[in-house]
Structure 1
């Protein structure tokens, strides 16, 4: 991986996914020297961590938005009784 790479944080989600696919393909091809393989693996781990973080944030945002869509239960439909454990 000799070419100059953008910092992971500057990549769009789609760019990061494409680069991660490329890293996986190169690693699976078994054509790199050990040092290059380690560099590629480290880059792949960084990309994967960033993508997972972005997916988690998007999932949380969707949950918030879905919560805003759900109507709040009124007293007639909400179970307000205390239940014994």
Structure 2
């Protein structure tokens, strides 16, 4: 049985870890590049790949935002003395 034929047995994308989704996407790309699938199998694999890619991009975007927020928290706020020097 080919990899594309097993697509129905795969976990839903939202249940995959990032690493699992990336690994599956890499496998799909490899199979598609091998040009060994029938047209219907290729379309099913491509469709799964598009869903995986969208999920991965969304997760990366969320991770980037989280890192930006965390980096913003690291920037020290000026202390009260520094803020008040302009008021005198």
TM-score range, shorter chain: 0.7 to 0.9
Partner residue of 2:26 out of 21, 30, 43: 21
Return the TM-score normalized by structure 2. 0.82
Between the aligned partners of 2:55 and 2:41, the Cα distance in structure 1 is: 21
Residue of structure 1 in register with 2:10 after alignment: 5
Q: Which runs of 5+ in 1 are unaligned?
A: 77-85
Higher helix share: 2
Between the aligned partners of 1:39 and 1:28, the Cα distance in structure 2 is: 14
Partner residue of 1:63 out of 60, 65, 68: 68
Deviations 1:32-74 (A, max 9, x none): 0000000000000000000000000000000000000001245
Aligned residues: 76
Partner residue of 1:30 out of 30, 35, 39: 35
Between the aligned partners of 1:22 and 1:2, the Cα distance in structure 2 is: 13
Between the aligned partners of 2:35 and 2:83, the Cα distance in structure 1 is: 64
Q: Which runs of 5+ in 2 are unaligned?
A: none
- RMSD value over aligned CA atoms? 1.2
Between the aligned partners of 1:32 and 1:45, the Cα distance in structure 2 is: 17
Return the TM-score normalized by structure 1. 0.84
